[in-house]
Every structure is written in structure tokens, then in C-alpha cells.
Amino acid sequence: MLKIFHASGSRSLRVIWMAEEMGLDYELAPEAIGRSSPEFIAVNPARALPAIIDGDVAMSESVAIVQYLAARYGPTPLAPAAEDPTYPAYLQYLVYGEGSLSAFLNPLVGTRFLAPDDQKDNFTAGLCRTLFSRRVKALTGRLSESSHLAGEAFTAADISVVYALNMGASLGFAEDYPAPIADYWARVKTRPAYQAAIAK
């Protein structure tokens, strides 16, 4: 059975949400951030959540895991096929959620919780806030064209980006989300599979 290593607030939310949307059976392996279990370290020595074990497969990149689940247990409308007209946008925003959004928040998490007080608002933190904000605002044009990021249908691209918006909100940035982004963010989070995942 698919095993998902998980801690609340971590990128494992993407994986659990995808599994819930697909109706997959899975086992949850709870982890405490900063106190990794030996089994989790064996799967991912970098000690960064998420990680999965699926038979002989072990993986630890959230967006890659989402793609893997779609390919391994699909087909699923959550991952359009390459010949689908929505596929380029799907792929773009699936990666965008991590590469252009969440990645810029990692230094902010570190500075907020680990940096000395006189370094919590340093140049790098300011730059990361600016880059994240710019990239969130860039979603406005896309969401003026369609109800979801790949088109009219909900896909794993939305899972990827909504996690990043959640992460930004946890750092206090939600009040700066443009209205179309805030509306989209709130709407997608009403999905039953999201509600099931966030409760884990």
C-alpha cells in the first residue's frame, strides 16, 4: 500500500490531497518536523517532507510524487494527457507552484524561525517576499481567462499552487493576494478532498 510520510503544514499536503482526489488507499506515517523517524530518514536522508513508499518505489519531491500518482494510478482528469489542449498550461502551473512560489518562501521560513532578531528582515528576506508577491500577482491574468489554472477543470496544477498560497498565508501574506487570487484560493479549498487532506 502507498505510504505517505506527513506532518501538518508540510508539502505532504499536496500528496495527500492528490491521493484523496483520486480515491487512492494509503497509509499515513506521521512525522514531527525536526524529529524525523529512522524510517523516514532512510527514504529521504535530506529529511524534507514529503516522502512516499509505494512498493519498491521511494520518492521525496512533492510535485514529482503528484505526477507519479497520476501516471501510476491514472489515467485521471487531474493530469491531462500530452495531446490535451490544456496540457501545456497544466504542466506550467504544476511546476509553478513549487519553482516560482513555494521555493521563494523557504528562506523566509528559515529567517523567521531561526535567524537572530537583527537578521529576520534582511535583504534576502525582502527579496524573497517581493519575488513571491510578484509571482502570485502574475496568476491574475491566467485566472481571468479560466476558472482553474489549466483551464476550466480542476487539476493537480491547482493542488500545487494552492499549497504555495497556503504557505504564503502562514507567513502573513494572504492579505496582499489580489482579489481574483483570493477568491480562487478560497473556492478551491472547499473541495471535499482538500478538506479531508487538511484534516490529516
One digit per residue, the tens of pLDDT, for the chain of length 200 reads 999 999 999 999 999 999 999 999 999 999 988 889 999 999 999 999 999 999 999 999 999 999 999 999 999 999 999 999 999 999 999 999 999 999 999 888 888 888 888 888 889 889 999 999 999 999 999 999 999 999 999 999 999 999 999 999 999 999 999 999 999 999 999 999 999 999 99
Residue 68's closest CA among 1, 10, 18, 23?
18
Stretch(es) of the chain classified as CATH 1.20.1050.10: 87-191
Cα(65)–Cα(98) distance, integer angstroms = 13
At 57 the pLDDT is 97
At 110 the pLDDT is 84
pTM of the entire structure?
0.96
**Cβ–Cβ under 8 Å, residues 5 and 13:** no
DSSP state for residue 128 in the 8-state scheme: H
At 105 the pLDDT is 95
**Cβ–Cβ under 8 Å, residues 61 and 11:** no
Contacts of 73 (CB under 8 A, 6+ apart): 22, 24
**Cβ–Cβ under 8 Å, residues 149 and 143:** yes
The CATH superfamily holding the domain 2-76 is Glutaredoxin (3.40.30.10)
Stretch(es) of the chain classified as CATH 3.40.30.10: 2-76
Question: Fold for domain 87-191?
Answer: Glutathione S-transferase Yfyf (Class Pi); Chain A, domain 2 (1.20.1050)
Cα(17)–Cα(153) distance, integer angstroms = 16
